[in-house]
Amino acid sequence: FFFFFGLSIHAATLSRSGSGFQVEDFYRRWLRRLMPALLASMVATAIIFAVFQHGDLRTQGWALLATLTFQQDVLAPNFGGNAPYWSLAHEAYYYLLYPALLLVARKLGGTRALAVFTVASLMLWSVLPMGGRLAAYYPVWLAGFWLAELLSKDQSIPLWMVVSSLGVVLISLGTTIFQRTHPLLAHPLWLAVYGVALTAVVYLWLTQLELEKMPPALR
């Protein structure tokens, strides 16, 4: 989910490259898409919490504020115990840093920007309360961003990276059962490697779809 989120956000920006990137318009479109669904779901959550779970809405003040400002899991728990709200906080962090990521990518290129932001994000999230999850997910968003850059420029991934990424995916699938107890496999960095490795797999799939459209002689 987070990988395709990063891919779709950056691909949409690249498709509007002719009109230039406008920060205010970027955030306005994000809030216009998200807030109606969020507010509707919070009303439904409040009803379920108060009526069916017999909860006290007066205890949900901080959770309400945190969810509306995308700081759930940081300032307070999710509103009404609605656990899936946690992903919105992570989404907000990606949106918050995306303009800076885009600026760095235009100066250094998509691959270098991926490397710089991956290292910087791992260092930053290591000191934040919710850093464990962000350390695992933010590089996955960056991998989606990187793939959008490659597709827009019609660049290919080196063969060694494809082979090693496929190997990581196979190892990850084989060791998933041990992630909850194994001290290494449950580490956020391992999950980040697994997510970045999926970049090559999806890229191969998209490339294959393009090849199937070509005449046999050109393949």
DSSP state of 82: -
Token duo for residue 131: 């850093």
Q: What is the pLDDT of residues 183-193, one digit of tens each?
A: 555 565 666 66
Residue 41 is predicted with a pLDDT of: 94
Residues 6+ apart with CB under 8 A from 103: none
Residues facing 76 on adjacent strands: 72
Q: How does residue 113 score in pLDDT terms, banded at 50, 70 and 90?
A: confident
DSSP count for the chain of H helices, then E strands: 8, 0
**Cβ distance 55 to 77 under 8 Å?**
no
Cα 26 from Cα 98, distance rounded (Å): 10
Q: How does residue 159 score in pLDDT terms, banded at 50, 70 and 90?
A: low
Token duo for residue 211: 């090849």
pTM: 0.67
Cα 131 from Cα 128, distance rounded (Å): 5
Q: What is the pLDDT of residues 171-216, one digit of tens each?
A: 666 665 555 555 555 565 666 666 666 666 776 766 666 666 655 5
Backbone angles phi, psi at 76, to 5 degrees: -160, 170
Residue 218 is predicted with a pLDDT of: 47
Cα 21 from Cα 197, distance rounded (Å): 29
Share of the chain above pLDDT 90, in %: 13
Cα 53 from Cα 124, distance rounded (Å): 38
Cα 180 from Cα 178, distance rounded (Å): 6
Give the DSSP H or E segment for 35.
helix 23-47
